[in-house]
Each structure stands twice: as structure tokens, then as C-alpha cells.
Amino acid sequence: MTLERSQLLNLRLCFILFSDYVTMYVCIKWYQFVRNDYAQRRMKQPKLTAIIQSHRLTPFGHIACMDDNADAKRILLASDPADWRRQPGRPRITWLITVQLDQRHHNLGFPEAADMVQNRPLWRMLLTYGAE
């Protein structure tokens, strides 16, 4: 995957703004050799993997709360036919497999997670604090 010039400039600008923010907020100077995890703990920022995992599980929560007759929920609950294969060149891991792997980090299976979604405050708490 290659990034365009404008995307690279945007990433560089974000890095510069973030590094200025870190030096002002956490009082870490540019010449101090500080590890990223130290700066992250000082800023009380969640881990990036926890943020990504939360964003992946959010659509699952929306679909699991839908009515049982909704097309999206029927697709979510349906199983693939036994003779079905992915086309060549397509990734083997689907979104649903990724969601199931994320749920394993919370010691949840698919049915337990679908039940937990019905309790919205608990589901929000899991998304916010669960992967840390």
C-alpha cells in the first residue's frame, strides 16, 4: 500500500502537532529520550489496540441490537454453506472472524456477546475499558 503525497503530508503534520501537544501537556522535551509507552501512561491515553478493537466491536453491537427479522442481523447469524469458498485474492479473515477474535480477548463467545449487547451500559463499559 502506497500513500499519496498529500496523505504523507497530513501524517507528518499530525505527528508534528501531536509531538507539540506531548511537550506542552506532559512536559516532555524533544531532546529527552522517552519511550512511547511512558508518554502514553503520562497522558492517561488508552492503547491504540484498545481503540481499534472498540471501533471494530461497535458495528457488531449495532447489528446485534437489531430486530431478528432485519437483514443485517440475519446475515450476521447465518452460517456459510459447506461448499462455499472465498474468491482467489480475497483475504481469508472476514470482519466476523476479526470480531470473534476481539471477543475472545474479553473471554466472550458469540452468543454471550450478543446477549451482553442488550445491556447497553455494560456493553459501553466493555468497549471503553475492556481491552486495556
pTM: 0.63
Would you say residue 128 has pLDDT above 50? yes
Would you say residue 124 has pLDDT above 70? yes
Q: Is the dihedral of CA 38, 46, 15, 8 positive or negative?
A: positive
pLDDT in tens, 69-119: 998 888 887 877 778 888 888 887 888 888 888 888 888 888 888 888 888
- DSSP, collapsed to helix, strand or coil, labels residue 107 as coil
Would you say residue 1 has pLDDT above 80? no
Would you say residue 2 has pLDDT above 70? no
